[in-house]
Amino acid sequence: MSALPAGIEDVELAKAYRLLNHGPVTLVTSAHGGRRNLMAASWVMPLDYDPPKVLVVIDAKTLTRELVECSGEFALNIPPRRMAGAVFSAGSRSGRDGDKFRALGVDAFAARRIGAPLVAGCVGWLECRVLPEPGNEKRHDLFIGEVVAAAADRRVFSQGRWHFDDDALRTLHYTSGGVFHATGERIDVRS
Amino acid sequence: MSALPAGIEDVELAKAYRLLNHGPVTLVTSAHGGRRNLMAASWVMPLDYDPPKVLVVIDAKTLTRELVECSGEFALNIPPRRMAGAVFSAGSRSGRDGDKFRALGVDAFAARRIGAPLVAGCVGWLECRVLPEPGNEKRHDLFIGEVVAAAADRRVFSQGRWHFDDDALRTLHYTSGGVFHATGERIDVRS
């Protein structure tokens, strides 16, 4: 596998679910045949620990759906609050109208195990291979991915734990109508 | 349908997904044959808008699984931050060891369309009927529910929108090891 950019480190696969467990909004990236795309998605969650699996809903009409079906791969990228505007814009336009990375001014870097690009400036990444389930895909637009690599920005996630010390790097939760909430105050019920 | 407790109002079914869209931790309630239970669950998300559907992972060994399979119903209850301790405790014990509502000091009130009880003190509720999919249930412990009624505490959710003015009523996001985060600062990218 190629080296990760500076400041980004591998997340142990058995702990990859922790990147998603608190319900952050994600950017789904995909690529096939020289095209690439990113899509905003809140309907994403862990499905299993080991091997780690995730669920994501991908509407049938999207370019992402086409790229994921052709490639059998996708990545989940977890954006920090400073990317809220880009996430909202990603959800408001189609990759069929031109490369969305360029339109949004978002940079990409190479994933380690899959062909889909990863979004620079995010704080967590899960590289996934589709476990084909045609019934779920057709009936519910629901895709199951096995997480084959995971990484995080060590400033906010290390040794399997989130630590949101830098406000600008807090993750985001999407409600509706352009309104996000940052991941807020930490509450440790055991202390 | 019976009346809702004071301060709680119906949520239009087409907007019920907004109760879950930001990825809060939930309490899954269920009942059958004189038994009832509640279970903490983060692996919950919307699946469709209209009719509204949700997904929830319910481990095969749990009492909740037994009650949901027998009754074909469950409710998702969304707890505020002041209930973080109870949510963690709910995830750390089994309903097979005695009624968990009593053990946790949690009160219940009657749902409107299903037999499962609703958790008092929560801020959102989704009453669900299982749409049976034996493949997903067996292979993935994954249940699909159609939302048949939804309600919210009008102090934090009204006219289809969250408004977390009271800190004590902010919803919760679970990471791991007893650590939650409150739903934090509001970011409106259109303003």
Residue B191 lies in a domain: no
pLDDT one digit per residue (tens) for chain B, 191 residues: 678 899 999 999 999 999 999 999 999 999 999 999 999 999 999 999 999 999 999 999 999 999 999 999 999 999 999 999 999 999 888 899 999 999 999 999 999 999 999 999 999 999 999 999 999 999 999 999 999 999 999 999 999 999 999 999 999 999 999 999 999 999 999 98
| Integer Rg of chain A from CA | 16
A23 and B24 within 8 Å at the Cβ level: the answer is: yes
* Chain B residues with beta carbon closer than 8 angstroms to that of A23: 22-25, 42, 45, 173
* Chain A residues with beta carbon closer than 8 angstroms to that of B160: 176
Lowest mean pLDDT among A48-57, A69-78, A123-132, B89-98: B89-98
Closest B-chain CA to A164: B181
Min Cα distance B32 → chain A (Å) is 26
Mean pLDDT, to the nearest integer, of A61-87? 98
A42 and B48 within 8 Å at the Cβ level: the answer is: no
Closest B-chain CA to A173: B22
Residue B139 lies in a domain: yes
Residue B147: per-residue pLDDT: 98
User: Which residues fall within 8 angstroms of residue A108, CB to CB, at 6 or more apart?
Assistant: A29, A36, A101, A117, A118, A119, A120
Residue B64 lies in a domain: yes
Residue A7: per-residue pLDDT: 95
Q: What are phi and psi of B166, to 5 degrees?
A: -100, 115
Distances (CA, A) of B97 to A105, B37, B91, B103: 55, 11, 13, 10
**What letter does residue B114 receive in the DSSP assignment?**
S
CATH of the domain at B49: 2.30.110.10
- State pLDDT tens for residues A145-189: 999 999 999 999 999 999 999 999 999 999 999 999 999 999 999
Rounded to 5 degrees, what angle do the CA atoms B105, B149, A20 make?
A: 70
Task: Show the domain range for A77.
Answer: 8-182
ipTM over 0.90 threshold:
yes
| CA quadruple B166, B168, B171, B172: dihedral sign | positive
Q: Tell me which residue in A25, A179, A184 faces B170 most closely, judged by beta carbons.
A: A184
Residue B93: per-residue pLDDT: 87
Q: What's the structural domain count of chain B? A: 1
pLDDT higher than 90, residue A20: yes
Q: Tell me which residue in A173, A177, A188 faces B183 most closely, judged by beta carbons.
A: A173
User: CA torsion A135→A124→A119→A95, rounded to 10°?
Assistant: 30
Distances (CA, A) of A148 to A54, A155, B15, B131: 11, 22, 35, 31
pLDDT higher than 80, residue A1: no
Residue B170 lies in a domain: yes
Q: How many CB atoms lie within 10 A of CB B14?
A: 14
Residue A93: per-residue pLDDT: 87
| CA quadruple B85, B90, B94, B99: dihedral sign | positive
Min Cα distance A179 → chain B (Å) is 4
Strand intervals (E) in chain B = 8-10, 26-32, 35-41, 44-49, 52-57, 73-78, 108-110, 117-119, 124-130, 142-153, 157-158, 161-162, 172-176, 179-188
Residue A133 lies in a domain: yes
Q: Tell me which residue in A53, A174, A190 faces B21 most closely, judged by beta carbons.
A: A174
User: Which residues fall within 8 angstroms of residue A43, CB to CB, at 6 or more apart?
Assistant: A56, A57, B21, B45, B46, B47
* Cβ pair A93, A175 in contact under 8 A: no
Residue B162 lies in a domain: yes
* Cβ pair A23, B20 in contact under 8 A: no
Interface test with A, best of B89, B173, B186 (most A CBs within 10 A): B173
Mean pLDDT, chain A, whole residue set? 96
Residue B127: per-residue pLDDT: 98
Distances (CA, A) of A51 to A68, A74, A131, A132, B18: 20, 17, 12, 15, 30
- 3-state SS class at A104: helix
Residue A187 lies in a domain: no
Residue A2 lies in a domain: no
* Cβ pair B126, B75 in contact under 8 A: yes
Mean pLDDT, to the nearest integer, of A45-66? 97
